[in-house]
Chains A and B, each alone.
Chain A
Amino acid sequence: DGGITQSPKYLFRKEGQNVTLSCEQNLNHDAMYWYRQDPGQGLRLIYYSQIVNDFQKGDIAEGYSVSREKKESFPLTVTSAQKNPTAFYLCASSPDRTSGNTIYFGEGSWLTVV
């Protein structure tokens, strides 16, 4: 089935460790996004990418890094520089310009720092 797959669903990290969250889409979408959501809050944009090998910072990019080596993949690395990484992370993608900016989301990944 077509869609966006995030893994792992749940991840525990020790302080000082880097972790990478996977996001894969088979929708042939051009753009991909990463959002962070804290309990009871809305979504905040971390990074987004419009095409392969190109990405832009969102509102809260500090402490995170991304890559876009393939159209279908947009992994997010939460580095040790991110001071409060415990949150719900959502990956999303959107199709080309002719379809407007409708965004489709994955099911999310829960990251907990222990």
Chain B
Amino acid sequence: DAKTTQPPSMDCAEGRAANLPCNHSTISGNEYVYWYRQIHSQGPQYIIHGLKNNETNEMASLIITEDRKSSTLILPHATLRDTAVYYCIVGGYSSASKIIFGSGTRLSIRP
């Protein structure tokens, strides 16, 4: 079973910030939080990952709560091209940890 819980779907107006929540209450101390997104019938694309501190890159920001039991992915200015399924997963800091994907959140961007 996936170690994360996400809402099945969300929508956001174009140009606004999209905030995607994820619960990972059983996360262990050495596990990272990773976010990927998948556009229909393509391979998932890496977005961002973090351990404890908030992270930001050119695509998104990741906010992790102090107790690390939940996180939020923020797309600061959503565009129609951000319509996708977003997966939040947790995994260890090794090259071949067993990475389990849940069902993700289907994000729809409204024009």
A residues sitting closer than 8 Å to B (CB atoms) are: 4, 29-31, 33, 35, 41-45, 48-50, 56, 58-59, 88, 90, 92, 94-97, 100-108, 110
Is the Cβ of A42 less than 8 Å from the Cβ of B101?
Answer: yes
Please, how many residues of chain B have a CB less than 8 angstroms from a CB on the other chain? 26
B residues sitting closer than 8 Å to A (CB atoms) are: 2, 32, 34, 36, 41-46, 49, 87, 91-104
- Nearest-neighbour CB distance to chain B for A56, whole angstroms, equals 8
| Residues on the B chain within 8 Å of A48, using CB | 96, 98
Is the Cβ of B44 less than 8 Å from the Cβ of A96?
Answer: no
Is the Cβ of A102 less than 8 Å from the Cβ of B97?
Answer: no
Q: Determine the residue in chain A with the shortest Cβ distance to B1.
A: A59
Assuming A42-B2, A106-B43, A107-B43, is B100 touching A101 (CB within 8 A)? no
Is the Cβ of B42 less than 8 Å from the Cβ of A107?
Answer: yes
